[in-house]
Structure 1
């Protein structure tokens, strides 16, 4: 029964996270209902297993450790959200993971032999490492765009520092202006007109969600006026 509860917690956790990832990919949104359902189910399953089959390898009282793991993960998640490191859905997902998997599962031994008592933080750090691999995808797309059409990657950005250009190459990739109408794309450059009527382009390494629609509107307008190419 202990193994069944442990496996169920893993399956439930993976199921909700896969659905949330699919929803995020398709619509760039994850309904709060996902976490409203996920959280209580995770809590009940974990409490049931810990009360009836407490882990014998943990020196602390298991419920105290459960509460500590959830508290630390929640503070960590909310702090990252408020500093703009990620979105609200990411914070809620990590807190739900803390409810479902506060401790490492017993089904497999870690390759390193090291086990973190705050398992959700380990999940987060591994996710960051995996997400960092996306820079190779972005770089490959940018190089393909550059050499396929023999076009300049940073035309009009002569005064932009090399560091910002490198960040732009690794954080995003070139697309046609028309594709910006898709709601899940966030522009990494802006196009504005000064009070003197001069055109000004700028790189946005860390775009803000609330500014997206205004930036897209300015870029589409500049495209219609022939000020930038597609």
Structure 2
């Protein structure tokens, strides 16, 4: 088999992988739900390409790939079990771990780790938008909340109207708790369970961040970085 074809295999693989992630990210951004076919169909193409790419390397490289895959799957399982991520996020972790073989550069030695770090760029922008929104619309009037709770709410939540929640309930989970005449804000590092509208015209709500979208941007940045070395 020609060297030319072998050199193109990673290119074909990466085109399919980045296309799948961007499409999954688009679905995540629009509805916070991803069709299973978005993962299944690209996997049919990616599996033989990845196998060919890994199989034609050294036995030592196979061990590096398997170790990287093990770490990636471990992260996917643990974050899902601990409710730190949703099911789609965990699938995206596994998807990247399976179909993005590692390299020998420090950035590529554990691809999923690098992609997660790079996904902090869009995550930070999203957090800044939350802050902008809350500076413009937010209010803690009537709430019993300490400074730390208020700061975290400003960064990770949005103060929304009942209408906003009804129109986009897929991306919000109410965090305001009404206890008699008192209002409090519930915080948790885990993905909260879906709860009902607290019965207020305006309230604080956790924003379900489109993390698969952030991962797709992180992988796009990762791919661009690969072109520089």
* TM-score over 0.5 (shorter chain): yes
Partner of 2:94: 95
Aligned length: 198
For normalisation by structure 1, the TM-score amounts to 0.75
Partner of 2:140: 154
Query: What is the CA distance between 1:28 and its match in structure 2?
Result: 1.2
For normalisation by structure 2, the TM-score amounts to 0.75
Partner of 1:189: 175
Runs of 4+ in structure 1 over 3 Å off: 113-116, 206-211
Partner of 2:219: none
Q: 1:215 aligns with which of 189, 193, 196?
A: 196
After superposition, the Cα gap between the structure-2 partners of 1:131 and 1:21, relative to the gap in structure 1 and judged at 3 Å, is same
Kindly indicate whether the alpha-carbon contact (under 8 Å) linking 2:75 and 2:93 is maintained by their aligned counterparts in 1.
Answer: no
Q: CA RMSD in A?
A: 2.6
1:74-100 deviation line (CA, Å, top 9, x unaligned)? 011110111121111111111111111
Aligned residue runs from structure 1 range 40-79, under 5 A: 40-52=44-56, 54=57, 61-79=60-78
1:162-184 deviation line (CA, Å, top 9, x unaligned)? 00000000112222211111232
Partner of 1:121: 113
Query: What is the CA distance between 1:208 and its match in structure 2?
Result: 7.0
1:138-167 deviation line (CA, Å, top 9, x unaligned)? 111112225xxxxxx20111x311000000
Q: Secondary structure at the match of 2:193?
A: helix
Query: What is the CA distance between 1:188 and its match in structure 2?
Result: 4.5
Query: What is the CA distance between 1:116 and its match in structure 2?
Result: 4.3
Aligned residue runs from structure 1 range 10-21, under 5 A: 10-21=14-25
Kindly indicate whether the alpha-carbon contact (under 8 Å) linking 2:177 and 2:185 is maintained by their aligned counterparts in 1.
Answer: no
After superposition, the Cα gap between the structure-2 partners of 1:128 and 1:82, relative to the gap in structure 1 and judged at 3 Å, is farther
Q: Within 2, Cα distance between the matches of 1:208 and 1:62? A: 36
Q: Which has the higher contact order (CA 8 A, sep 6+)?
A: 2
Partner of 2:225: none
Q: Within 2, Cα distance between the matches of 1:39 and 1:26? A: 23
Q: 2:30 aligns with which of 1, 20, 26?
A: 26
Larger Rg: 1
After superposition, the Cα gap between the structure-2 partners of 1:128 and 1:80, relative to the gap in structure 1 and judged at 3 Å, is farther
Query: What is the CA distance between 1:200 and its match in structure 2?
Result: 3.5
Kindly indicate whether the alpha-carbon contact (under 8 Å) linking 2:54 and 2:101 is maintained by their aligned counterparts in 1.
Answer: no
Q: Within 2, Cα distance between the matches of 1:68 and 1:210? A: 32
1:205 aligns with 2:187: yes
